[in-house]
Structure 1
Amino acid sequence: MAGASLLVLFDDIASVLDDVASMTNLAAKKTAGVLGDDLALNAEQVSGVRASRELPIVWAVAMGSFKNKLILVPLALALSAFAPVLIMPLLMLGGAYLCFEGFEKLAHKYLHSAAEDQAEHDDLVQALAHEEVDMLAFEKDKIKGAIRTDFVLSGEIIIITLGTVAGAAFSRQVVVLSAIAIIMTVGVYGLVGLIVKLDDIGLYLKTKKGSAALRGLRHSVGDALLAFAPKLMRALTVIGTIAMFMVGGGILTHGIPAVHHFIENSALAVASVAGVGALLAALTPSLLNAIAGVIAGAIVLVAVTLLQRIYGVFKSKPA
């Protein structure tokens, strides 16, 4: 009897772990857009600092990210327990923010003058030219800015994850949210640390001594890494932006039944195309979600820009 009870307990535990793993996997897929953007943004945060300080800065931001999630996860669980009706509005708000952020990147050159970009570049050059005490202050500003950015992105990740597990038992919500918080933080900042050191690894391989054949191989690999590192940064930015539209648009369309059904019906309609129906059916929802994300991002950006201008007009008026 005791043995049978133990087997039932093991079966229950295995079932729970399987469910948790499935929900964690689903949540990770849904937060992919934020993850790509998180990678690109955090890798960019260490631009302009000395090579010897890159990893310490990444570590400092990673610790700040853990602290952010220690605040966000309990808040999300409290929201699920006491105000679950707010989950969908917050998801929609997070989706709209993702679309806005993605479209703002596309429209950056039209929203920011060349003078503003040049001023930012000059500030960076000036900071690098100063003594170590100024450099330390510059690093602190970088870290604070990165942690603030992480708080927003982490909030999006947690809310999206919460929406994924909203119907699950509270204990499973705790496990999945905690797992996503840990996996995303370790994964993002581990990859950021690797990305920002790719060029240093390339330089190390080019200067490493050895036999002629081995030295030639190392130099080739080093040259490849030095050429690959900046391209990877650019690719991460592009992929992250596309993913933001797909994920943000997907959240918004899922929350609007008419649009959600239209996308489902469109996928079913193209599935009957001979030869490529299955591929088109798989790609159509992502494409339509991305288009919806671009449209939503443009609408939000226009609204935000108008509000900023109206606020500026009122602020400039004499009291």
Structure 2
Amino acid sequence: MAVTAEDIDRITGRLFLTLGDRFRNLTAFWVLLVLAGIIASAGVVADSTATVIGAMIVAPLMTPILGTAVAVVLADRRQLVVNILTVLGASLAVVVIGYLVGLVVLTDVVAATNSQVSGRVSPRLIDLLAAIATGMVGAFALVRSDVSDTLPGVAIAISLVPPLAVVGLTLESGAPGEAVGALLLFGTNVAAIIATGTLVMLLAGVRQAAMEAGVAVARLGGRSLVAVAVSLVLVAVPLGIGSFKVIQEQRLVAAAEPVADAWAEEAGWQVSQISLQGSTLQIVVIGDPPRPGTDQLREALDAARLAGVDVELTLVVGGSQRLDGE
């Protein structure tokens, strides 16, 4: 997997936007980023997976993120600062775009009513694992020009612009907690790409190849590598907490399901949905009159060791009625 001097020119020319035709590189980056932000925001609002995937392919945000990893490996402080500032500026731009799109939408774009939002506001450790694997594929495809065709797949697998669009949309909708969750997902992906990119490029011998190509390579300090590793740990902690919380919620819902099913079935009703919203168990049941006794459900849940769980019960009464016109 060792890279050559020719590979160094290809890698730096592709990732360092200020090299070569700077104006052309930067205008292409920002035009594509703005369009990707608009597409992603529209896709989230429309709850369209296909549209969101389109935004992932168009988005050029992977370039400065991998450029940050290359700058770390080459100990190029100037490019490191340029790429980090580019990532931060681009991220803020997409958040603003999402917020502005939210202003023209009549309804709130939140997790309760939108699957594109709900899938991005509660990141877990499994998301970090996927981001690490995807980041490794992206870095490997970068150092190996013969497998560069996999990069569109990497763009789809790693979620960068859509979470930022969700941050803007949920902030405008008055859901800052969900915005923080989406921002954590974005941060997780960025940290994973930089960490795995740095590792892959070190193993591929990018530093040695750069020296042979006559590229100025400074000494790689241990603090730089520690900073990369720490960033990965910092995102892993809240992801671990989130994963534990999800497991606890799943256990609670699993314990409540048979109790609610038995109670509803005894009354000739049927449980439509059971979920946990915050610390409150949401139970939706449907059926025909008469309504089942709610006290019996509370007693059954208490007997199943769920006495400390608040319940919000929604009874959906069935039946039909004919309304004749005049």
| Higher RCO (CA 8 Å, separation ≥ 6 residues) | 1
Q: Give the structure with the larger strand fraction.
A: 2
Q: Give the structure with the larger helix fraction.
A: 1
**Please, what TM-score do these two structures have when normalized by structure 2?**
0.32
**Please, what TM-score do these two structures have when normalized by structure 1?**
0.33
Q: Which has the larger radius of gyration?
A: 2
